Amino acid sequence: MEYFLITTILVCLASVFGFINVKFLKLPNSIGLMLITIVFSLIVLGLSAFDDTLLNAEKEIITSIDFQTVLLDVMLSFLLFAGALHTNFEQLRVQRWPVLVFSTIGVLVSTFLVGTAMYFILQAISMNVDYIYCLLFGALISPTDPIAVLGILKKAGAPKRLEAKIVGESLFNDGVGVVVFLTIFKIASSGGGEIEIAQIAELFGMEVIGGIAIGGVLGFITYKLMKSIDDYDIEVIITLAAVMGGTAVAHHYHFSAPLAMVTAGLIVGNDTVRSSTMSEITETYVDKFWELIDILLNTILFVLIGMEMLILTFEGNYVLAGLLAIPVVLICRYASLLAPIQFFQRKLNFVRNTNLIMTWGGLRGGISIALALSLTSEMHRELFLTVTYIIVVFSILVQGLSVGKIIEKLGIKEE
C-alpha cells in the first residue's frame, strides 16, 4: 500500500476519532483516541465473522508500516522538540538534579528490577526465557513516555513543580532508555560472545553525551539565526530545519536523536532566549506551529497504537504474563524512585506523595511498543510485544484516567 494512501487513511481516522472524543467522550486526546481505536478494531474483528474486508484492510495498513522506524526515527524527534519547547524551563532548572537522577539511575535500577522480577515470574508460569531477554524487556518498559504524559498531566492539574519532575524525567529518560535498550540488545545479540566494558561505555557515551552535545550546538545555532532576523515565517522554518537536520546528523553519527531534540527544544524554548530572539508575533506562530505538529502526530500515534492489537498473539500464557507484569512494573518504578526522592526532598520543596504520583503518573506509550517490535524471534518478540501492549493499554487507559482523581484526592492540586 502506498505511503500517501496509508497516511491519508490514518489522518482521516484520527480526525473522525478525534471528533467523536471531543464531541462526546471529552477525554484527554491520547486516552480518547486509543480507546476509540481499540473499540473500532474490536468491531472490525466482530464484523470479520461475516465479511473480513475491513479486517484485511486494517491489517494491511498495520503490516505496511514499520512502526519502530516511523516512531523512533521520525515522529519522536518532532514530538520531543515540541514537548521541550513548551516545558517550564525555570521549574526544570530548579529540579534539574532530581530529573537527571530519575532519568538515568532510575531507569537503570528499574531495568534490572523489572528484568529480574519478570525472569522469576516467567519461570513460575513455565516459560523458560533467558535472563538477558528479561533485562531487554526491563529496558524497553522502564522509560515513561513524554508523549502520553504531557497532555494528561496538564489536564490533571498537577502542581507545576511536580509536573516539572515528571515531564522533565519523561523527556530525558526515553532517550536514556533507548540507549540502555540498545546496549543490552547488543550484548544479547552477541550470542554469548565477549563484549568488552569499554565497548559498552563507548556506545553509551556516544549516544548520550553526543546527543546532548549536538542538541546544544543545534539549539545555539538556531538561537543565533533567529536572533539575527525578524520574520516569523522564516523563523518557523528554521525551527523545523533544526529538528529535521539535527535528527539526520544524529542518526548519521550514531548519537541519540531524542536527547538532541530535547536539548535543542529546551534551549530554543527557554524564556530568556525567547525574549531576546522572538518578537511577540514570532513567538505566537512558533508555538502554534509546534502545537499543531504535536497534536497531529499524537493523534496518528495513538490511532496506530490502538490498531497494533490486530497483529498481536494473544495466547493464554502471554496474557497472564502481561497481567502479572502490570503490578511488577509499578512496584519496580516506585522502588527505583524511592532513594532519589528521599535524598532530594530534604533540599528541594517536594509535594506530598511525590513518589506515588510519579509512579502512577509515569505512563508507558508508543516508545515501549516500538522497542518491543525491534526484538528478534529468538528474544521472544511475540511474548514481550503482547506483554508490553497490555501494560501500555493499562497505563494510558487506567492510570491516565485516574491520575487526576488521585491528585485531587490527595489534596495536592490545591497546594
pLDDT in tens, 383-411: 999 999 999 999 999 998 888 888 888 87
65-70 CB contacts, 8 Å cutoff, 24+ apart: 65/6, 65/304, 67/304, 67/308, 67/366, 67/369, 67/370, 67/373, 68/370, 68/371, 68/373, 68/374, 70/304
Number of domains in the chain: 1
Assigned domain for 34 exists: no
Assigned domain for 260 exists: yes
What per-residue confidence (pLDDT) applies to 73?
87
What is the number of helices (H) and of strands (E) in the chain?
Answer: 21, 0
Higher pLDDT, 412 or 313: 313
pLDDT for 351 beyond 90: no
Assigned domain for 149 exists: yes
What per-residue confidence (pLDDT) applies to 194?
58
Reported confidence tier of residue 413, pLDDT bands at 50, 70, 90: low
**CATH code of the domain covering residue 270:** 1.20.1530.20
Reported confidence tier of residue 346, pLDDT bands at 50, 70, 90: confident
Assigned domain for 21 exists: no
Cell of 212: 546532548
Reported confidence tier of residue 328, pLDDT bands at 50, 70, 90: very high
Asked if residue 166 lies in contact with residue 152, where contact means CB atoms within 8 angstroms, the answer is: no
What per-residue confidence (pLDDT) applies to 243?
97
Domain of 248 in residue numbering reads as 72-409
Assigned domain for 67 exists: no
Assigned domain for 14 exists: no
Average pLDDT for 157-183: 83
Assigned domain for 16 exists: no
Asked if residue 83 lies in contact with residue 146, where contact means CB atoms within 8 angstroms, the answer is: yes
The tens digit of pLDDT for each residue in 275-298 reads 888 999 999 999 999 989 988 998
Side chain identity at residue 232, one-letter code: Y
Most confidently modeled of 90-99, 153-162, 199-208?
90-99
Distance, CA of 84 to CA of 169 (rounded, Å): 11
- Grid-cell match 497505563, residue found: 395
